[in-house]
Amino acid sequence: MSPLSRRPFTCYRQVLVNIFISANIVGGISALAALADTAMATHRQRIASFERMLKQEQISDEVAAATRDYLRMRLADSSADLTELPLSVQIRIREQRFSDVIRSSPLLVGLSRRFIGECIARVSEDSFVAGLEICRAGDTTTKLCIVLDGHAALLLSRAGRDESDHGRNEPATVAMLRPGSCFGAEGFVAEAVQPWSIKAITLLRVISLDAQDRRELQRQYPNDWMLLRTNLVTTMSEIGRAARRLATSIAARQEEAANTEVTAAGLNQSAMARVKLQAMNIWLPLSEATSEADQLLFAEEACRAEQELQRANTRASQALATLLCDVAASGDVAELSRMLRMVPIEAIPADYDGRAGLHLASAGGHDETVALLLSNKANVNVIDRFGRTPLAEAVLNGKDSTIKLLVAEGGQLNLGEHEAAGILCEAAHAGDTVLVRRYLAAGINPNAADYDRRTGLMLAAAEGERRICMALLDARADPALADRWGHRALDEAISHGYGGPLVTLLEEAQECAQAGSASPSRTRLQHYVPIEGSMHSAAHS
């Protein structure tokens, strides 16, 4: 077939392809239009259902208008449903939309990037129509909200106040919330009551975290959560100070107006400046809408909220301290490692008795736990309310390997001279050689003297305890020291009728001390102390 004869067939195929493509396009557009019509019809049916309900229940005009505004807003938003997009795209969109407002919130200053990223991934959007009271004073809110668009008023009740100048009992607007402001943090972070009411002034769009988000964030990021609590207390303190400063400013302006006979209109016009409170992006209005009394009331409420938050923080810190002590006392290294990865040791306070995890781990002789705490910069010489350090706990509980570990890390007993002397004298009197050796290994002063200037060596000599005398001399106890009656350790041994090896031991030690040479070495003293036998087997001469 010639090329000229094939040309009509080629044109015919092209026409058919164009018709097929056009039909698909028209069909797709028709399908989309049908879906849009279906969605619109569904939404109209919902509006009609709400309208019937509003009429049947005789809902007030204000609430009915707010409901209609909300339904119209939802219809406008229905065209952009992010859930239809892939998850990776959703995350990128959320980061671009919410990252700036979340990171700029002073309440979240200093928190880790992972925490902020988790917040961005978890926040949900919500909207409130104008005139809607979002939360009331005294409620325990479970949501943390950050304003994206619109304005809200922070309201305080004037009930119970003698306000002759106002003559009305409606709530006082003491501050305004703008984009970037947050509210509900008291209940969300510390489970405290809401100190004031929040009311939407315009259509208000917010992003929020709910109770489930709180549990997960608190579990996964306890260190950030503690910092969030601290930021909230600081914020509330700044709010109270700013409100007091504003009340003082209002009083000064009113006094100036009275002195210069400035008209009320002129005063309000000159007072329209707004003070931005950086702590929560709250704006405090200087206008006729507020007064000195209102701002003082605001400051009082902020002070009460701050105190409640501090109490909540104290309870949370005590719970964390108790948890650490429990884990350390059990010697659970794996659980302790997990805990310290999330919360630095310096952020965990001592418990109600001033005891740290290192106290409990040392008392239990859990060397791995002790080493882990020390490697995480735990204070090796932390003191509880009984005046004991971790090293003292290890000594009292007979944990010799733990004593060695703590001493190598700079552990001390924190004993005064009289207290140290009392311990050595009591142990020598009881013949407890093991306890004396443990205290000496822990670095106790072997020459500590009590109120009568008596030392442990003198008591050991008076009791005929040769092993204890040898241990003290080996730790550089001075045999030449005398008590307030002029008696030395050798005098005590002789006066109590102990001769033989004990007296020889003390005589040699005293001669070395008087000659200014070193005390007899352990090798030279070894033949005075029997190797076999119990700790109390030394014979009395």
Question: Is the domain of 393 the same as that of 522?
Answer: no
Between CA 334 and CA 372 the distance in angstroms is: 10
Of 380, 408, 436, which residue is a domain's last?
408
- pLDDT value of residue 344: 83
- pLDDT value of residue 29: 56
* Three-state secondary-structure class, residue 310: helix
Q: Domain for residue 289, yes or no?
A: yes
**Residue bearing tokens 């601290």:** 230
Question: Is the domain of 136 the same as that of 238?
Answer: yes
The answer to whether the CB of 229 falls within 8 A of the CB of 190 is yes
- pLDDT value of residue 265: 42
DSSP bridge pairs for 146 = 182, 207
Q: Domain for residue 146, yes or no?
A: yes
- Backbone CA torsion sign across 370, 376, 381, 383: negative
Question: Is the domain of 65 the same as that of 110?
Answer: no
* Three-state secondary-structure class, residue 377: coil
Q: Residue 411: which residues within 8 A CB-CB, separation 6 or more?
A: 380, 381, 389, 390, 391, 442
The answer to whether the CB of 328 falls within 8 A of the CB of 366 is yes
Q: Domain for residue 302, yes or no?
A: yes
The answer to whether the CB of 126 falls within 8 A of the CB of 198 is no
- The 3-class SS string of 116-139 reads HHHHHHHCEEEEECCCCEEECCCC
Q: What is the DSSP letter of 347?
A: G
Between CA 498 and CA 539 the distance in angstroms is: 9
Q: Domain for residue 538, yes or no?
A: no
CATH of the domain at 522: 1.25.40.20
Residue-wise pLDDT for 202-245, tens only, equals 888 899 999 999 999 988 888 888 888 888 888 888 888 877 87
Residue-wise pLDDT for 488-519, tens only, equals 999 999 998 887 889 899 988 888 877 765 55
Number of domains in the chain: 4
Q: Which helix (H) or strand (E) holds 198?
A: strand 197-200
Q: Domain for residue 100, yes or no?
A: no
Tokens of 339: 């805990």
Question: Is the domain of 135 the same as that of 260?
Answer: yes
pTM attached to this predicted model: 0.63
Question: Is the domain of 66 the same as that of 138?
Answer: no
Burial class (CB in 10 A: 0-12, 13-18, 19+), 171: buried
Question: Is the domain of 304 the same as that of 339?
Answer: no
CATH of the domain at 289: 2.60.120.10
Between CA 201 and CA 165 the distance in angstroms is: 25
Question: Is the domain of 119 the same as that of 259?
Answer: yes
Of 268, 284, 313, which residue is a domain's last?
313
- pLDDT value of residue 279: 42
Question: Is the domain of 508 the same as that of 469?
Answer: yes
Question: Is the domain of 423 the same as that of 481?
Answer: yes
Cα distances from 468 to residues 394, 446, 472, 476, 537, in angstroms, run 20, 11, 6, 13, 12
The answer to whether the CB of 402 falls within 8 A of the CB of 362 is yes
Question: Is the domain of 401 the same as that of 275?
Answer: no
- pLDDT value of residue 500: 85
**Closest alpha carbon to 284 in 292, 252, 132:** 292
10-residue mean pLDDT series, the chain (541 residues): 52 62 59 51 63 67 65 55 64 81 82 90 87 88 89 81 54 84 89 89 90 89 86 85 77 66 43 41 47 79 86 85 93 91 84 93 96 94 94 95 96 94 94 95 95 94 94 93 92 88 89 66 39 33 33
Q: Domain for residue 395, yes or no?
A: yes
Of 268, 295, 313, which residue is a domain's last?
313
Furthest-apart CA pair in the chain: how many Å?
143
Cα distances from 426 to residues 280, 345, 394, 421, in angstroms, run 61, 37, 19, 8
Between CA 478 and CA 511 the distance in angstroms is: 11
- pLDDT value of residue 526: 41
Question: Is the domain of 181 the same as that of 140?
Answer: yes
Question: Is the domain of 422 the same as that of 404?
Answer: no
Write out the residue range of the structural domain in which residue 66 sits. 45-77
